[in-house]
Every structure is written in C-alpha cells, then in structure tokens.
Amino acid sequence: SLLRALDLEERTEDFPRMLSGGEQQRISIARALIHHPRLILADEPTGNLDADMARTVFDLLLEANAAGVTVVVATHDLSMIENLNLRTVVLDRGKILGDFERPRGLE
C-alpha cells in the first residue's frame, strides 16, 4: 500500500498538525497518487525527506509515470533525474538551458 511504502501506516488517525513536515509531504504524495490522476505536478517532492525516503517517493512517481500518468517534477536534486530515460527540461531563472529526450550519458 502507499501508506506502507511511505512509512505512514501508524499515522492514519493523526491530524496534519500532529505530523512532521516530512510526514505531511509524504501524505501529500500519497493523496496525489491514490486517485490515479492523469497529471501530477510535483514541486520539490523530495525536498524535506531523507535520502532513502526521497528515493521511495521518486520511485512511486516513476511507477505512476510508467502506468500512464504525466508527471512533472521541479527539483534541484539532479541526482534524482540524471539517469532517467525520460524527457528532462533544465531551467535556470525561467530560461530553458536544455531539453533532453534520453539519458545525458548517451549524447
């Protein structure tokens, strides 16, 4: 289940004010994914998470994408995206610096 994957099974009865910032962020991801949307816009979805949970969240977003969901992620964590075989657009101050259709190592 999503709650298990996001390590939130013990928090199902808690109100948002009882959750840490990272837990609130993971709940937001779960809420977005549970409804099987056609589009997910994720602004820094791993920003307040430790490395292991960040990888879990990113993997869940990739699974959603593989299932047909369009996932747009804004992140400063290039390690999360550098090896993806997916379209990657790099922006700096609103200007497009690069638009990659394949892993950067193949260019």
Q: How many CB atoms lie within 10 A of CB 26?
A: 27
pLDDT tens for the 107 residues of the chain, in order: 899 999 999 999 999 999 999 999 999 999 999 999 999 999 999 988 999 999 999 999 999 999 999 999 998 888 888 777 788 888 889 999 988 876 545 54
pTM here? 0.83
Q: Which CATH number goes with the domain that contains 8?
A: 3.40.50.300
> What domain count does the chain have?
1
68: containing domain:
2-106
Q: How would DSSP label each residue in 41-96?
A: EEESTTTTS-HHHHHHHHHHHHHHHHTT-EEEEE-S-HHHHTT-SS-EEEEETTEE
